[in-house]
A = this chain, B = another copy of it.
């Protein structure tokens, strides 16, 4: 812990600093894997208390970060993500409490069967080991990710964005205090003690003996860099180019409400809808209500030629619009001839994150659910439900769009592996 929390290292010391982090993490992972649920929860409770008590210091550290970020001309959106206030810190504290209240995934028996020779086989959840989490300048992720890893029995090495360095460090100190108060190694949650970008490269490329998996959480360029450079397994979170498909059989007012919510509830999250597909047969019946609702909420509409033939107020969409994750109040709209064309569009342009079909026709829903292969498919519900909390999984690190290990919301359970326990009575293999 002493090494891990030393002041920022110079460039040439990065290898030494990171190696020390890795060794400490591996040792802590061993202790954490054996820790009882009670001990882990008591560390979480103590961490939450420590954050509450350290509120003034955390806000002061955040002011330093904000001042520096303002000088560097960060966008309003980024500054908003970086900003903490008393409510947001209180939300962080509540979030840790919610994670503590989750069922402990470790040790649960996933499956159990007996072989004809009498061997009884159990598949039992175990932690993954050491997780590296690379994220952008959102101080709350420091607490969420640290707490989720602790809950699931994993040691973690956190690397947040440099703009949130002081805020994250203040929160991190409270997590370490919680671990220590519960008698767990403070090194179970470590933070890379430098903002040098080379440390990320080292973490991705040189630490496969210490790090079992990397979870990147952030925008496209961060994920792309991690996936290109990592020599360690990655649980990736790509963009959410989410589609809503309005089938002709759908209820008009339900379609209006769900489309509005999917696009406009929060436009900046990965579960926000970016493209609307609408049956030609639904244009006359459904479009006026949907368009009124979206325009009333301030949403810009960009459509294909068929859409603009029907509603000349819709702007022209370019080819690039179909593969653009706007993350703002813009929606691309395409007219389709039915569920097959909707599926073909999503297969071509989608990111495999989340899609919703609005329909009363069960055959169309069945087709949509069977033929599409996104992480989350919804029927008559908003894409904004693509969230671990909304799935009942508690906090999440993100929505995985890869196909390996975890897919969809990544919560405590997804941060585990398993082992087999085989009970015999002297069996030998013939």
- Which residues of A come within 8 Å of B, CB atoms? 30, 33-34, 113, 115, 119, 121, 126, 128-129, 208, 212-213, 227-228, 231, 233-235, 251, 254, 257-258, 260-262, 265, 347, 369-371, 373-382, 384-385, 387, 390-392, 402-405, 407-408, 417-429
Contact = CB atoms under 8 A, between A and B. Distances in A.
Given A376-B419, A377-B421, 9 more contacts: A121-B392, A227-B231, A254-B426, A265-B428, A373-B419, A378-B422, A380-B427, A404-B417, A408-B418
Given A403-B417, A422-B378, A429 B213 contact: no
Given A403-B213, A405-B405, A429 B375 contact: no
Contact of A233 (B126, B234, B347, B427): B234
A186 B381 CA distance: 39
A428 B370 CA distance: 23
Contacts of A422: 376-379, 381, 385
Contact of A428 (B129, B251, B261): B261
B392 A419 contact: no
A208 B391 CA distance: 30
B420 A375 contact: yes
A125 to B, nearest CB: 11
Contacts of A425: 380-381
Given A392-B113, A404-B417, A429-B384, A126 B373 contact: yes
Contacts of A129: 403
B119 A423 contact: no
Contacts of A424: 378-381, 385
Contacts of A208: 227
A347 B420 CA distance: 17
B419 A385 contact: no
A65 B411 CA distance: 50
A78 B374 CA distance: 43
A420 B374 CA distance: 8
Contacts of A419: 373-377, 407-408
Contacts of A258: 426-428
Contacts of A382: 427-429
Give the secondary structure class of A's interface.
mixed
A38 to B, nearest CB: 16
Contacts of A404: 128, 212-213, 233, 235, 404-405, 417
A422 to B, nearest CB: 4
A429 B373 contact: no
A34 B402 CA distance: 19
A252 B420 CA distance: 25
B234 A380 contact: no
Contacts of A374: 419
**Residue in A228, A257, A408, A428 with the greatest tally of chain B CB atoms within 10 Å:** A428
Contact of A371 (B34, B119, B212, B262): B34
B233 A231 contact: no
A213 B403 CA distance: 9
Contacts of A423: 379-381
A339 to B, nearest CB: 14
Nearest to A404: B233
A373 B421 CA distance: 10
Contacts of A370: 34
A367 to B, nearest CB: 11
A422 B261 CA distance: 16
Nearest to A212: B403
**Residue in A113, A378, A384 with the greatest tally of chain B CB atoms within 10 Å:** A378
A126 B370 CA distance: 10
